[in-house]
Structure 1
Amino acid sequence: MKIIRHTDPTWQETAAALNRRAEASDAVQEVVSGVIKEVRARGNAAVLEFTERFDGAQLTAESMAISQDELAGSWNLAGPDLLQSLIASHRNVFSFAQKSLRQNWSGTNEQGAQVGEVYHPFERVGCYVPGGSAPLVSTAIMTVTLASAAGVPEIVVCTPCGKDGTVNPGLLAALKLAGATEVYKIGGAQAIAAMAYGTETIRPVAKIFGPGNSFVVEAKRQAFGVVSIDLLPGPSEVLILADRTGNASFIAADILAQAEHGKDSQAGFITDDAALLDKVAAEVDRQCAKLSRQAQLRPVLEKGVFLLLAPSLEEGARLVNAYAPEHLTLITERESDILPLIRTAGAIFLGNDSPVAVGDFLAGPSHTLPTGGAGKSFPGLTVDMFQRRTSIIRLDKASVTLSEPIVRSFATVEGLDAHGESVAIRAR
């Protein structure tokens, strides 16, 4: 762990480094560009080659898809405890999403024209569900459920399989419950390219959703414009801002919960209390020794975990906004003062008794959130991202007559006399 105090000579340098921007390396950009180019040119053949190269799985065009019978059968293989947990999570996420749907509306403007908006679900969307070191059944619930709640009729899911070509039955059960209509056992940048551009097996989608590693996130960025993109959610991260009221054991547990994702995950702790900083550092070491995923935890603790002693909570809030964390835990007796200062967090968990893991699995809002500093520009995933907005405008003789002199003024200054005449001809 890196421990930095505001009295250290490197404090300013460390504080400046927290101001992140989500950007892939040149190497990642080059690899992804090549993958997309090949998938566009060769379709299934390229997807299958990259799946064997990157995931070690030998698939065919026929075995790439998971049948509805296999999805249905997974329900009996997942185990009763997991099924009950999936159902409880799905109820919360679906209910939260329904309350968040955008509603049609109409009214009149000052000239008497009828104006309004109507919302329709996308016809066909793609959801990426990471696999890798663990089957992320929660991500299936947190993405596909929103598409279903929005009324999307065709929900395509891509998720990587194991080297044996299989997908965890618990993940398949989650996808079935959430409402997936097509599931393909492919991952990585090739999966994003397949959903964006289409192959002989996979028809292209209108919008792509979901988190992934740096290659998946970069593929989404490069596909933007060909398809719509939700946001750029990459490796998981948490930042905790606490004063002396923070519980060191709870804080350490949340740091380790994020660190066990492994790879490029990050966890940070900022406090204005020196004693709490020391307690958290000791608790992280103590609790880590008892956990099972040492191979994932140790590299993150060495390179991706930092503890900062700030001069004040206000300065801590400034650092939070610069860092733009995916998850922020705020623990302070001055919550009413500090919370309004936070502007860029993907999700905020308030108080000692609000573990991020409940948000990951159960609370209701989607856990698909911006990472790597993207929270400065993107919100977390919401159900209205699965809806298309269309504006509606209707004028009658009276409203077009009242609009004509205003339109004529704009048309004159912009040199667009045909625009002005198209209104004037109606007003006359």
Structure 2
Amino acid sequence: MKILRHTDADWKQTLTNLDRRAEASDAVREVVSSVVKAVRERGDAALIEFTAKFDGATLTSETLRVSQEEIDAAWNAATPELRSALEASHRNVFAFSRKSMRQDWHGTNEQGAEVGEVYHPFERVGCYVPGGTAPLVSTAIMTVTLAAAAGVPEIVVCTPCGRDGKVNPGLLAALKLAGATEVYKVGGAQAIAALAYGTQTIQPVAKIVGPGNSYVVEAKRQCLGAVSIDLLPGPSEVLILADKSGDPRFIAADILAQAEHGKDSQAGFITDDVALLDAVVAEVDRQCQTLTRQDQLKPVLEKGVFLILTSTLEEGARLVNAYAPEHLSLITEREGDILPLIRTAGAIFLGNHSPVAVGDFVAGPSHTLPTGGAGKSFPGLTVDMFQRRTSIIRLSRESCAKSEPIVRAFAEVEGLDAHGRSVSIRGE
């Protein structure tokens, strides 16, 4: 773990380093570009080749898709405890989503024209659900459920399979409950390319949502334009900002919960209280020894965890905005002062008893959130991202006549006389 203090000689450079922008390395960009090109040109053959190379599974065009029988069997085999947990999470996420949907509206402008907006669900969307070292069953709920709540009729899921060519049954059970209509055993950048451009087996979608590793995120970036995307949710991260009221046991537990994602995950802790900083360091060391995923925890604790001592909590809030964390845990006796200062966090968890893991699994808002500094530009996944907006305009003869002088003035200054004529002719 790196410990940084406001008294360090290189403090100003530390502040600069925390001001992130979401971008991929040249190496990642090159790899993704070659993968996307291969899928566009060779379709299923490229998917099968990449699945063998990266996942160690042997598939054919006929076995790329998970059968409905497999999905039904996974649900039937799920334990009562798992079903109960999935159903509780699904109810909260669905209810939150329905309350968040944008609604049609109509009104009139100053000239008397009828104006408004109408919202329709996308016809076909793709949800990416990561696999990797842990099948993200919760991501099935946190993506597919929103699409179903919005009324999307075709919800396509891509997720990596195991070396045996099968998808984790718990994940399949979650996908069935959430409302997936198609599930494919494809992961990585190749899955994003398949969803964007289509193959012989997978038909293209209008929008792609969901988190992934740096290759998945870069693939979404490169396919933008051919398809709509939600945001850039990459490797998971948490930042904790706390004053002396923070409980070091809880803070350490949240850091370790984040670190067990492994790979490029990050966890940070910012405080203005040196005693709390020391206590958290001790708690992380103590609790880490009791956990099972040591292979994932140790690399992150060495390179991806940082603790910062600031002079004030306000300075800590400025660092939060520069870092733009996926998850922010805010623990302070001065919540009313500090919370309004936070502008760039994907999701904020308030108080000692609001663990990020509850947001990961059951709270209600989607856990698909911007990472890597993308929170400066993107919000988290919301149900209205599955709704296509269309504006509506209707003019009467009278409102058209009232609009004509304004259009004429714009048309004259822009040199577009046909525009002006298209309005004035209706009053002749």
Residue 15 of structure 1: aligned partner? 15
Q: Within 5 A, what are the aligned runs for 1:335-354?
A: 335-354=335-354
Residue 291 of structure 2: aligned partner? 291
Question: One-letter code of the match for 1:189?
Answer: A
Residue 58 of structure 2: aligned partner? 58
| Helix, strand or coil at the partner of 1:66 | coil
What CA deviation, in whole Å up to 9, does each residue of 1:342-384 have, x standing for no partner? 0000000000000000000000000000000000000000000
Taking the aligned partners of 1:64 and 1:324, their CA distance within structure 2 comes to: 37
Q: Within 5 A, what are the aligned runs for 1:32-43?
A: 32-43=32-43
Deviation, structure 1 residue 243: 0.4
What CA deviation, in whole Å up to 9, does each residue of 1:159-209 have, x standing for no partner? 000011111110000000000000001100010000000000000000000
TM-score normalised by L of structure 2: 1.00
Residue 316 of structure 2: aligned partner? 316
Residue 174 of structure 1: aligned partner? 174
Question: One-letter code of the match for 2:291?
Answer: L
Taking the aligned partners of 1:135 and 1:84, their CA distance within structure 2 comes to: 18
232-241 or 2-11: which moved more? 2-11
Residue 201 of structure 1: aligned partner? 201
Taking the aligned partners of 2:321 and 2:343, their CA distance within structure 1 comes to: 6
**Structure 2: 5+ residue runs without aligned partners?**
none
Question: One-letter code of the match for 2:136?
Answer: L
Residue 94 of structure 1: aligned partner? 94
Residue 358 of structure 1: aligned partner? 358
Residue 163 of structure 2: aligned partner? 163
Deviation, structure 1 residue 80: 1.4
| Helix, strand or coil at the partner of 1:325 | coil
**Structure 1: 5+ residue runs without aligned partners?**
none
Taking the aligned partners of 1:416 and 1:226, their CA distance within structure 2 comes to: 31
What CA deviation, in whole Å up to 9, does each residue of 1:28-68 have, x standing for no partner? 00000000001000000001001111111111111110111
Taking the aligned partners of 2:77 and 2:4, their CA distance within structure 1 comes to: 48
| Helix, strand or coil at the partner of 2:61 | coil
Residue 124 of structure 1: aligned partner? 124
Question: One-letter code of the match for 2:376?
Answer: K
What CA deviation, in whole Å up to 9, does each residue of 1:11-38 have, x standing for no partner? 2111110000111110000000000001
Q: Does 1:368 align with 2:368?
A: yes
Taking the aligned partners of 2:427 and 2:297, their CA distance within structure 1 comes to: 71
Question: One-letter code of the match for 2:405?
Answer: P
Taking the aligned partners of 1:194 and 1:404, their CA distance within structure 2 comes to: 48
Question: One-letter code of the match for 2:124?
Answer: R
Taking the aligned partners of 1:70 and 1:199, their CA distance within structure 2 comes to: 22
Taking the aligned partners of 2:307 and 2:64, their CA distance within structure 1 comes to: 44
Q: Which runs of 4+ in 1 moved over 2 A?
A: none
Taking the aligned partners of 2:68 and 2:366, their CA distance within structure 1 comes to: 25
Question: One-letter code of the match for 1:369?
Answer: L
Question: One-letter code of the match for 2:116?
Answer: G
| Helix, strand or coil at the partner of 1:263 | coil
Taking the aligned partners of 1:152 and 1:69, their CA distance within structure 2 comes to: 23
What CA deviation, in whole Å up to 9, does each residue of 1:277-322 have, x standing for no partner? 0000000000001000000000000000000000101100000000
| Helix, strand or coil at the partner of 2:77 | coil
Q: Does 1:380 align with 2:380?
A: yes
Taking the aligned partners of 2:246 and 2:12, their CA distance within structure 1 comes to: 25
Q: What is the number of equivalent residue pairs in this alignment?
A: 428
Residue 6 of structure 1: aligned partner? 6
| Helix, strand or coil at the partner of 1:76 | helix
TM-score normalised by L of structure 1: 1.00
Taking the aligned partners of 1:133 and 1:228, their CA distance within structure 2 comes to: 28
Residue 85 of structure 1: aligned partner? 85
Deviation, structure 1 residue 70: 1.3
Residue 264 of structure 1: aligned partner? 264
CA RMSD of aligned residues (A): 0.5
Taking the aligned partners of 1:80 and 1:165, their CA distance within structure 2 comes to: 26
Residue 414 of structure 1: aligned partner? 414
Q: Does 1:148 align with 2:168?
A: no
Question: One-letter code of the match for 2:285?
Answer: D
**Identical counterparts, % of pairs:** 79
Deviation, structure 1 residue 251: 0.2
What CA deviation, in whole Å up to 9, does each residue of 1:204-245 have, x standing for no partner? 000000000000000000000000000000000000000000
Taking the aligned partners of 1:295 and 1:150, their CA distance within structure 2 comes to: 40
Deviation, structure 1 residue 78: 2.1
Residue 241 of structure 1: aligned partner? 241
Taking the aligned partners of 1:172 and 1:119, their CA distance within structure 2 comes to: 30
Deviation, structure 1 residue 427: 2.0
What CA deviation, in whole Å up to 9, does each residue of 1:244-279 have, x standing for no partner? 000000000000000000000000000000000000
| Helix, strand or coil at the partner of 1:4 | strand
Taking the aligned partners of 1:122 and 1:56, their CA distance within structure 2 comes to: 34
Taking the aligned partners of 2:406 and 2:374, their CA distance within structure 1 comes to: 40
